[in-house]
Structure 1
């Protein structure tokens, strides 16, 4: 486990789990005054550490999801029960989180434990957040990323897998539309963040060639 501050207002908690191969799972905490926003919840096994990390930084305010895959939402039920705080995702993602239909590339519906408990990221909710939100479909239909404009840190969920100074696409079999996902990645050239932090991998410093190389290699 690693718990680090990656900018003035953003902290990252990293666990390693094994799903056939060792995989890093990163979740984040955005501090705004006394409020703490939890970005993704990882696996249920680590939810108690998530709770401890969030409380160490202030008062947990809400849970914000990048999407509804289990390695991002599995700890949400425990955190919601313990903290009594709302959970938000993009409205496109909610039918999959609720188990109303399976993801387009899966046969089985998700069992998230927070069915019918996740609210859509409405404009009124977004206005209250210390983050800008971008819809980046492809890996999942309602996948979003979160940008802390003040710190210029971009939390990209599964838009990329990051390693050292390079970006790579997410795992194909878990991705609904890889071409759409790669196209969504161009948003980094619009935002030009100082740091790109993905759910699986290492933090990467942005440069103007980063997306161009990624697109050339994987499109």
Structure 2
């Protein structure tokens, strides 16, 4: 179990393909610490071990904050809530996917051109139901358990996606609003090859909103950024990459074609209302997806041996 420091009072851990983060409040601001995102299914023991290494045996977070509800960010959540009965904060547009009311739109395995895209059809899109624990984030007042951090609504990857920003030292936790690796490439994800990139193409369902979100985050001028996929980026490397992405988002990040390109999925407070029709070749995709799944399984097993 290895974790890394993002900034003062902020730590992260990569669990196979995705990052989770822990934030300790400054003394006098509020008590305790919070967990940001919950990783993949089966990651609970690693998350608990990280927490106890940082904050002591028997510790538990004051709250869990979700950047969004995709399965690689909520997979361990049901198990964690059995161990830590704490509030879980999410944007109100994300609540349908966390209260059993709506499934996410399906992934688009044809965009991105990488193994992670081809494998994306295997990810769960059905909702969780954590109604007893989930709390709606107040964007004006923020999160009581994390009072010094600003909540920024950054839709596009999902309707209720949020990022967290600490103005004092301009630290940004961006979730999947953008990434610091090419999330479509298994090789890039597994080796954490650094590159400021757009949100994962295969699960982004509103590219117009995604572009606005990246530009909103670039305007904050963060000096440190930690994302759901990829390593921490800082200073000039971050600012140059993020500004380039913001200025040229449509040519850098948006696929040339795809299910959600040109007309995104439509959602409201009750969940998904419209999903564009699938335009791929099902038989060919099935064969490619099967091969990708086998290769992906082998890569993840290898990663588990290296990182476990």
Shorter-chain TM band: 0.7 to 0.9
Report what 2:35 is aligned to: 38
Structure 2 segments unaligned to the other structure (5+ residues): 108-120, 182-192, 255-308
Greater helix fraction, Structure 1 or Structure 2? 2
Deviation at 1:131, TM superposition (A): 1.5
Report what 2:241 is aligned to: 210
TM-score w.r.t. length of structure 1: 0.86
> Is the counterpart of residue 166 in structure 1 residue 159 in structure 2?
no
Structure-2 separation of matches of 1:194 and 1:125: 22
Instruction: Name the structure, 1 or 2, with higher relative contact order (CA <8 Å, separation 6+).
Output: 2
Larger radius of gyration: 2
Structure 1 segments unaligned to the other structure (5+ residues): 17-23
Deviation at 1:52, TM superposition (A): 1.8
Deviation readout 1:109-168 (Å, 9 max, x if unpaired): 524252453111125552441311100000000000011233421111111121356311
Tell me the number of residue pairs that the alignment of Structure 1 and Structure 2 aligns: 212
Deviation at 1:210, TM superposition (A): 2.7
Structure-2 separation of matches of 1:62 and 1:50: 14
- Structure 2 CA distance for partners of 1:14 and 1:165, relative to 1, 3 Å: closer
RMSD: 2.3
Pairing 1:28-177 to 2, within 5 Å after superposition:
28-32=21-25, 33=27, 35-58=32-55, 59=59, 60-105=61-106, 110-112=126-128, 114-122=130-138, 123-124=140-141, 126-129=143-146, 130-163=148-181, 166-177=195-206
Structure-2 separation of matches of 1:168 and 1:78: 31
- Structure 2 CA distance for partners of 1:138 and 1:206, relative to 1, 3 Å: farther
Question: Is the contact between residue 9 and residue 151 of structure 1 (CA under 8 Å) also seen in structure 2?
Answer: no
TM-score w.r.t. length of structure 2: 0.63
Greater strand fraction, Structure 1 or Structure 2? 1
